[in-house]
């Protein structure tokens, strides 16, 4: 049986999936990056190799995310795509006819507008961490509450308070102030969820035509308090797909399937890459006034990938 691997390398998590030719998820991993993407990619692929059924053939590999070039050259990806395309494809697979996608990850957030299966508009917030998973993790730790209980506590609120959510610094100081005033934790958490949704809609979603069906994906979709706040603000239902945390990887696996269907071959290097030595380095190009920082990855002391320059002078991808 043919299957396809999708790898989504983000700043907070690395997601690896194996998808069947019919589009079913055979295996899926959500792994913390922990500042060691190469090691986590190798360990993840090793774990995947032990999960998939014997005799299954990997017929294609795709990579996406901020570390897509790194994963692509390591695994021998057949397709390397940006997150917008990958998430849009996955959402269309899971929810046919989807028109709006909310995607909130560890350190950025996105909105994708689709019409008749085609991306017509999108926006990303990569400047401020307000409303992202890392900020919610931070607040959960400060309140000494497990992050997986954050959303459930928000739904227990009986009198939500208004939290300033335009900035992480202001939001945190406002939360502390509300605690000192004696407000209950569930009310504060619910207020935070509503503040983060307001921030998202007023910034990332500003000027966008938000129409149902709406799909909410990314790690933050695990927080049912955020989902409830979206539905309250929009007055529309918001769907969370089964594999919400690994949708980018699912989408790029599907794109790898489509790419290899054209060529009939795959560039996948095989699972032996899990045991190969890799290291990365960088240098500054002084060929012009841009002084680009060029990043390179070496496999057994051989440069297999290089990117980062504004021109294509040094690129090997």
CA distance 60 to 49: 14
Are 228 and 103 part of one and the same domain? Answer: yes
At residue 282, the pLDDT reads 86
Does a structural domain hold residue 18? yes
Are 144 and 204 part of one and the same domain? Answer: yes
Mean pLDDT of all residues in 26-31: 92
At residue 146, the pLDDT reads 80
Which one has a higher pLDDT value, 60 or 142? 60
Are 109 and 212 part of one and the same domain? Answer: yes
CA distance 58 to 77: 11
Domain span at residue 6 reads 2-88+248-275
Which of 212, 238, 264 is the endpoint of a domain? 238
Give the position of tokens 């990958």: 86
Does a structural domain hold residue 243? no
CA distance 252 to 223: 24
CA distance 59 to 21: 9
Are 209 and 104 part of one and the same domain? Answer: yes
How many domains in the chain?
Answer: 3
pLDDT (tens digit per residue) in 180-228: 777 888 888 888 888 888 888 888 888 899 999 999 998 888 889 899 9
121 pLDDT above the threshold of 90: yes
At residue 261, the pLDDT reads 92
Long-range contacts of 138-141 (CB under 8 A, 24+ apart): 138/172, 139/171, 139/172, 139/175, 139/192
Tokens, residue 182 = 């004696």
At residue 168, the pLDDT reads 66
**Residue 91 banded pLDDT, cuts 50, 70, 90:** very high
Are 130 and 176 part of one and the same domain? Answer: yes
Query: Closest Cα partner for 257 from 61, 39, 12?
Result: 61
Which one has a higher pLDDT value, 171 or 256? 256
At residue 165, the pLDDT reads 63
For the entire predicted model, the pTM comes to 0.85
Average pLDDT, the chain: 87
Does a structural domain hold residue 24? yes
Are 169 and 75 part of one and the same domain? Answer: no
Mean pLDDT of all residues in 258-265: 92
Are 137 and 42 part of one and the same domain? Answer: no
CA distance 189 to 223: 11
Are 54 and 111 part of one and the same domain? Answer: no
**Residue 56 banded pLDDT, cuts 50, 70, 90:** confident
pLDDT (tens digit per residue) in 126-167: 666 656 777 777 778 777 888 778 788 888 888 878 877 666
Query: For the chain, what percent of residues have pLDDT higher than 70?
Result: 96
Does a structural domain hold residue 270? yes
CA distance 229 to 4: 36
Are 204 and 79 part of one and the same domain? Answer: no
At residue 3, the pLDDT reads 94
**Residue 251 banded pLDDT, cuts 50, 70, 90:** very high
At residue 158, the pLDDT reads 82
At residue 95, the pLDDT reads 93
CATH number at residue 36: 3.30.420.40
CB within 8 A of 176, min separation 6: which ones? none
Are 177 and 307 part of one and the same domain? Answer: no
Mean pLDDT of all residues in 268-287: 88
Are 105 and 189 part of one and the same domain? Answer: yes
Are 57 and 132 part of one and the same domain? Answer: no
At residue 227, the pLDDT reads 93
How many CB atoms are closer than 10 A to CB 284?
11
At residue 126, the pLDDT reads 61
User: How far, rounded to the nearest angstrom, does the alpha carbon of residue 295 sit from its chain's CA centroid?
Assistant: 22
> What helix, strand, coil percent values describe the chain, rounded to 5?
40, 25, 35
At residue 167, the pLDDT reads 66
**Residue 48 banded pLDDT, cuts 50, 70, 90:** very high
At residue 125, the pLDDT reads 80
């Amino acid at each position: 049986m043919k299957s396809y691997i999708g790898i989504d390398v983000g700043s907070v998590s690395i997601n690896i999936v194996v998808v069947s030719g019919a589009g079913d998820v055979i295996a899926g991993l959500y792994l913390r990056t922990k500042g060691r993407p190469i090691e986590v990619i190798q360990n993840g692929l090793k774990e995947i190799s032990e999960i998939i059924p014997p005799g299954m053939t990997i017929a294609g590999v795709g990579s996406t995310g901020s570390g897509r070039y790194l994963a692509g050259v390591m695994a021998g990806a057949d397709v390397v795509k940006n997150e917008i395309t990958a998430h849009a494809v996955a959402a269309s697979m899971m929810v046919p006819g989807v028109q709006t996608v909310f995607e909130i990850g560890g350190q950025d957030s996105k909105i994708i507008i689709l019409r008749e299966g085609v991306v017509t508009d999108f926006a990303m917030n990569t400047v401020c961490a307000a409303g992202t998973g890392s900020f919610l993790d931070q607040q959960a730790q400060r309140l000494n509450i497990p992050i997986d209980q954050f959303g459930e506590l928000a739904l227990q609120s009986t009198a939500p308070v208004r939290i300033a959510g335009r900035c992480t610094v202001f939001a945190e100081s406002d939360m502390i102030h509300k605690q000192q005033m004696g407000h209950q934790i569930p009310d504060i958490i619910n207020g935070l969820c509503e503040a983060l949704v307001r921030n998202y809609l007023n910034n990332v979603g500003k000027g966008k035509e938000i129409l149902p069906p709406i799909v909410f994906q990314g790690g933050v979709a695990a927080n049912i308090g955020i989902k409830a706040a979206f539905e309250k603000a929009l007055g529309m239902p918001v769907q969370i797909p089964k594999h919400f945390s690994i949708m980018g990887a699912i989408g790029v696996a599907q794109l790898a399937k489509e790419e290899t269907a054209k060529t009939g071959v795959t560039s996948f290097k095989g699972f032996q890459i899990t045991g190969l030595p890799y290291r990365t380095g960088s240098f500054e190009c002084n060929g012009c006034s841009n002084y680009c920082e060029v990043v390179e990855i070496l496999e057994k002391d051989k440069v297999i990938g290089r990117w980062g320059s504004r021109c294509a002078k040094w690129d090997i991808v």
